[in-house]
Chains A and B, each alone.
Chain A
Amino acid sequence: MAEPLVVFERVVKRFGEFAAVKDLDLEINEGEFLAIMGPSGCGKTTTLRMLAGLEQPSDGEIRLAGRRMNDVKPSERDTPMVWQTLALFPFLNVVKNVEFGLKMRGLDAPARNAKAMEWLKRLEIAEFAERDIAQLSGGQRQRVALARALVTEPQILLLDEPLSALDAHLVIRMQGVLTRLQRELGITFVYVTHSQSEAFAMADRVVIMAKGEVEQVGVPRAIYREPVNRFVAEFVGRNNILTGEVTGCDAGTVTVQSEVGPCIAPLPDNRSVAVGDRLDLVVSADVVTVSATAIEMDNVVACSLISEEFVGSVVTLFLETDGGAELKAQLQQRDIENLDTRSGTRLFLSWQRSSVHVLPQ
């Protein structure tokens, strides 16, 4: 069986004493859209830069299409990258920027101009071909950077937070452009970001990194619903994480005495749990029901409302139990229109045991 397109094998990158990437094992398949996500300093950009050859691994091996890449010069790899700052050449106009990679490959002037124009058309910026980079808007520059990277028709495209400098509405548009391009070209995209919405919206698989190590790899849905540890659960945000001792254990359910009171959760598969064990439970903010009166559910907690955060159709309520534990609930705006949302209001948060995810670690 053929090896995946990219393989990181026990890769370590040290900067002096500091290990930016520790023992990284990662496989990237041909034609997939992989997002690497994590807080700043987690090693995600270093990982991408090692793949481009801009950093040398201190240890381990990186293979691209079966070839060991550790000592291959960046200029001899075919791993074009889109920078966060875009890194467009200010002394060249738009079409000359796009032609750059072709010129380096020794294509003659008419051939590279034709190819560059083809890509400018594809990205709908052909009319700006003769402009200076400084005369373009952020979104247009983004497209130039993409065209410049893709014009040589590589097997893989590396993207280092390319959308972080754009306005929110442009980000959504460019996400559409990127996913469409990736599908049409069928090549591998490796996309580094700290933005969960970008990663989840575009990627086939997401890698969550922290402190130089991979915490979880999986499809966006799995990362969101089934985080493997507390770090991932906290990082993907808007999760209520409850911790406590197991007080009861029977027929597929456990009862955990958590900071919000007893919580009934499903007993995780292939794991033995005994009374007295400590468990972390994840109750996503979007799986809870909020009501003015107690309703019939596996878990019901009485709270008082502290504040609400309204971001359009979705509302997040921040609540506090009588014991002082904080809980979040994320709801559609229309679902709470009949609720009293003044601070201090008594509300009940309820959820079924099936909505609870028990952290395996």
Chain B
Amino acid sequence: MAADPRVRINWFAATWRLPMLVWQFLFFVVPLLFLVYLSFWLVRNYRMVPGFDTVNWVKMFAKGYFWDAYYFTFGMALLATVVTSCLAFPCAYALSFKLSETARRWAIFFLIIPFFTSYLVRIYAWQVLLAENGVINAALAVIGAGPYALLNTKLGTVIGYLTLTLPLVVILQTLSLASIDRNLIEAAHNLGCGRLRTVFTVIVPLAKVGLIIGAVFCFILSFGDFVSPYYLGGSKPPTLSILIIDTTKSGQQWPRAAVVAVTMIATLLLVAFAAVSAAYRKRA
């Protein structure tokens, strides 16, 4: 019996796809399923007992502090996303339209340099700068101002988020702005659209995908970050990532920590899905 040509396996294509499928299955799907499963386990006498009980979900969702942390984390990540995107845009715009091709390559190279050092190290550096007797307050003291509380504040957390995401967002925005067809910008001018107006009526819509992807990265990284809210924000109020740590420490509540983690993952999936579908949606 001859094989049906329609179901013949394309081995070449399969070879390319296989590593990704194996990888995603082993390191994403399996742990995720385990995490979900873990959220239904029970803790008796500080020991985890496999089971299937919704008690962790019910208890966690009934706690005021869980929702406080949830809204705080979401709000801070959203703030960081807006601030980062707005700070990155003029920078990316200048890199894309005001520099030569060579200068732009150098600029992108310099934007990659921050990634040479560990994020944690950069956050420690900020502690030195932001501390009450740190560099910034010492400088302010010279002109008779301060000292201001900079460390262990929300401002500290946002500075940390920017450290983490700003270079990446600038790079993503630059790549999308640089690929805009210059004829379209000239066409806008030609049809009576001034320079500033062209930025918002033509350039932003054309770069929409890149701008949204940049914002999504910023949101995801900030929402899940543990380092900045812990070392620069002083854990007060706690974000969800800090809540996970606290929950595991207090009475071995790994299942309840799993509830927080699964909620975070679900939130990020929803946000990412909504943003990506907005990015690729056809005109309104």
Binding site for B on A (CB under 8 A): 52-54, 73-76, 78-81, 83, 85, 87-93, 96, 100-101, 104-105, 132, 148-149, 152
Chain B residues lying within 8 Å of A92, measured Cβ to Cβ, are 283
Contact of A75 with B194 in the complex, beta carbons under 8 Å: yes
State in angstroms the CA–CA spacing of A53 and B194 once bound together.
13
- Contacts A54-B186, A101-B192 given; indicate if A91 touches B181 (C-beta within 8 A): no
| A87 and B184 within 8 A (CB) | yes
The answer to the question of B195 belonging to the interface, with a C-beta cut-off of 8 Å to chain A, is yes
Tell me the B164-208 residues at the A interface (CB within 8 Å): 181, 183-184, 186-195, 197, 202, 205-206, 208
Q: Is B190 touching A79 in the complex (CB atoms < 8 A)?
A: yes
Question: Is there contact, CB below 8 Å, between A75 and B195?
Answer: yes
A64 vs chain B, min Cβ distance (A): 14
Across the interface, which residues of A come within 8 angstroms of B190, CB to CB? 52, 54, 74-75, 79-81
| A79 nearest CB neighbor, chain B only | B190
* Chain B interfacial positions (CB closer than 8 Å to A): 181, 183-184, 186-195, 197, 202, 205-206, 208, 282-283
Chain B's nearest CB lies how many Å from the CB of A191?
A: 16
Is A104 within 8 A of B283, CB to CB? no
- Chain A residues lying within 8 Å of B282, measured Cβ to Cβ, are 132
Minimum CB–CB distance from A54 to chain B (whole Å) comes to 5
Report the bound CA distance from A74 to B188 in whole Å.
9
Q: List 12 A-B contacts (CB under 8 A).
A: A52-B190, A73-B189, A74-B186, A75-B195, A80-B191, A87-B181, A87-B186, A89-B187, A91-B208, A100-B188, A104-B191, A148-B191
9 smallest beta-carbon distances between A and B, as pairs: A104-B192, A87-B187, A101-B191, A87-B183, A74-B189, A91-B205, A75-B189, A75-B194, A104-B193
Question: Are B186 and A89 touching (Cβ within 8 A)?
Answer: no
**What 11 new A-B contacts, CB under 8 Å, besides A73-B195, A75-B193, A89-B187?**
A52-B190, A54-B189, A73-B189, A75-B191, A78-B192, A79-B190, A87-B186, A88-B187, A91-B206, A100-B193, A132-B283
Q: Which residue of A lies closest to B187 (CB)?
A: A87
Q: Are A83's CB and B283's CB within 8 A?
A: no
Smallest distance from the beta carbon of A104 to chain B beta carbons, Å?
4
Q: In the complex, what's the smallest C-beta–C-beta distance from B179 to chain A, in angstroms?
A: 13
> In the complex, which residues of chain B have a beta carbon less than 8 angstroms from the beta carbon of A89?
184, 187-188, 202, 205
In the complex where A91-B205, A93-B283 touch, is A83 in contact with B183 (Cβ < 8 A)?
yes
Residue on A nearest B186 in the bound complex, by CB: A54
By beta carbon, the residue of chain A nearest B198 is A75
Residues of A within 8 A of B202 (CB): 89
A87 to B191, CA, bound (A): 11
B187 and A81 contacting across the interface, CB-CB below 8 Å: yes
Min Cβ gap A272→B in Å is 51
A110 to B197, CA, bound (A): 22
Contact present for B192 and A75 (CB under 8 Å): yes
Chain B hits for A90, CB < 8 A: 206
In the complex, how many angstroms separate the beta carbon of A59 from the nearest chain B beta carbon? 23
Bound state CA distance, A104 and B194, in angstroms?
Answer: 9
Q: Cα distance A85–B191 when bound, in Å?
A: 16
User: Measured between C-beta atoms, what is the minimum distance from B256 to chain A in Å?
Assistant: 46
